[in-house]
Amino acid sequence: MKNHTRLSLLIFFLVAGVLSACSSADPEVGSSSQTSAASQPGASGPLLWNILPQFPPRDQVISRRLLGLNDLTMVDANTAWIVGTDGGIGYTTNAGLDWVLQNTGTAVNLTSVSFVDATQGWVVGTAGTLLHTTDSGTTWNQLEGIKGVFSLDGIDFVSATTGWTVSDTGGVYMSSDSGVSWTKQESNTKQDLIDIVMLDDGQNGWAVGWSGTIIHTADAGATWTEQNSGVAEVLNGVWFIDANIGAIAGSEGTILHTADGGVTWTQQTSNTTADLIGIFFFDAQNGWAVGSKNTIMNTTDGGATWAQQKTTTASDAIRAVVFTSLDSGLSAGSGGHIWKWGTKLEE
C-alpha cells in the first residue's frame, strides 16, 4: 500500500495533470504565523490546522525561493519527508515542527515520495528522475532512471525491493531490485498517469490520470485493466485502505468512491469546485481531500458528506495530506506551506 503512514495503516487494514509534474517556482520567503481551522474536539482542546514555518527554513533557502511542495509521506507519528521543486526534500523527526533540507544533487521538480520504513525510500520527478536512500535521506543516490518520459508522477514501494512508478506517457514500471532496474508493464492506456497505489500484498493496485482514467491490477501488474470512472475529469490522487474500499480525487471537485475494488465507482458530493489533488483515508470513515484555493475537505462518514476545513494562509494549492492518527496529521502545498493538524500550538 502507498506508504504514507504505512505503520499505522497496517493496524487498520498528488496538481491536476501537468501541474502535478511541473509546479512553478514559488514566492520569496515571507513571514510565518499560526492560523486556525474549523475544528473537532480534542483531548486538550479543539483540533485545527496550525500553519508551520515555511519550507525551507530561512537559513536553508535555495536561491532565496521557497519550494512548491508536491508530496508528503510519514512512516510514524514523528518521521516524515516532503518533496518539491528545485530538487527539494525536507525531513522531520518531530512531527513537522522542524524540517531539514536534504541534499539531493538535483534541481528537477520532484513529484512523489515513498518510504517503506524509517531509513529506505524513493523519490521520482521530471526527466525520469529516480532517487533512492537507505539512510533516511542523509544521502540520496540518483538511480539510472527511466528514459523517454517527461515526468514520473507517482511512486509506491511495498517492500525494500519491490515498487512501481507511473509516467506522463501512460507507462507503468515495476522494480524488484530496489529501483536499480525497471520493467515496463502493459498499462493499456496512453493517458498521462499521475498517481499509483499498491496494497501491501504486492498484487492489487490502481493508477489514475487524465480523462478519468483508472487502471487496476490484481497480479502485480502482469495485467492492467481499465475501470470505468464515469467521469472525464483529470484524476490526481488515489487511495485504498484494503482491496475493496478506495477513493480518488480529481479536478473540479471530483471525488470518487468504491466499495468493491473499483468494479463500480460512485461520484460523491464534495461540496467544492476546487481542483482536488491529494486524498487520504485513515480508515473507512475518516478521510481528507486537498487541492487548489487552500482547499481541505474532510469526511467522517466514508464520503457520504464532505465539509471544508479552514486554512487562512495564502497558498495556490495544497497538494498532499497524511494522518498518523485522527488527531495528528500534516498537509503541504505551494509556497513552501506546511500545516499540522492537532491542538493549537504555542505561539
In the structure grid, which three cell numbers stand for residue 251, read together? 479536478
- Residue 55: what pLDDT? 87
Q: Is residue 1 part of a domain?
A: no
User: Longest C-alpha distance within the chain, in Å?
Assistant: 53
Q: Tell me how far apart the alpha carbons of residues 184 and 187 are, in angstroms, rounded to a whole number.
A: 9
Q: Is residue 220 part of a domain?
A: yes
Percent of the chain with pLDDT over 90: 78
CATH number of the structural domain spanning residue 36:
2.130.10.10
Q: Tell me how far apart the alpha carbons of residues 112 and 20 are, in angstroms, rounded to a whole number.
A: 9
pTM for the predicted model, two decimal places? 0.87
Task: Compare 223 and 24 and report the one with higher pLDDT.
Answer: 223
Q: Is residue 227 part of a domain?
A: yes
**What value does the mean pLDDT take over residues 60-89?**
86
> Can you give the length of the chain in residues?
347
Q: pLDDT digit string (tens) for 176-198?
A: 999 999 999 999 999 999 999 99
- Residue 309: what pLDDT? 95
**Cβ neighbourhood burial of 10 (10 Å; 0-12, 13-18, 19+):** exposed
**What value does the mean pLDDT take over residues 45-69?**
77
Q: pLDDT digit string (tens) for 224-278?
A: 999 999 999 999 999 999 999 999 999 999 999 999 999 999 999 999 999 999 9
For residue 22, give the DSSP letter: -
**What value does the mean pLDDT take over residues 313-334?**
91
**What value does the mean pLDDT take over residues 16-29?**
35
Strands 205-209 vs 193-198: parallel, antiparallel or unpaired: antiparallel
Residue among 325, 336, 264 at smallest CA distance from 66: 336
Note whether 299 and 287 are within 8 A (CB). yes
pLDDT at 3 over 60: no
Q: Tell me how far apart the alpha carbons of residues 253 and 272 are, in angstroms, rounded to a whole number.
A: 5
Q: Cis peptide before 56, with omega less than 30 degrees from 0? A: yes
- Residue 226: what pLDDT? 98
| Average pLDDT of the chain to the nearest whole number | 88
- Domain range for residue 46? 6-343
- Residue 316: what pLDDT? 77
- Residue 36: what pLDDT? 35
Q: Tell me how far apart the alpha carbons of residues 340 and 274 are, in angstroms, rounded to a whole number.
A: 21
DSSP class per residue in 239-289: EESSSS-EEEEESTT-EEEESSTTSS-EE---S--S-EEEEEESSSS-EEE
pLDDT at 339 over 70: yes
CB atoms within 10 A of CB 263: 11
End-to-end CA distance of the chain: 37
Task: Compare 21 and 341 and report the one with higher pLDDT.
Answer: 341
Say how many domains are in the chain: 1
Q: Is residue 51 part of a domain?
A: yes
Which residues does 346 contact at the CB level (< 8 Å), separation at least 6?
none
pLDDT at 40 over 90: no
Confidence of residue 286 (pLDDT cuts 50, 70, 90): very high
Q: Is residue 120 part of a domain?
A: yes
Confidence of residue 328 (pLDDT cuts 50, 70, 90): very high
Q: Is residue 230 part of a domain?
A: yes
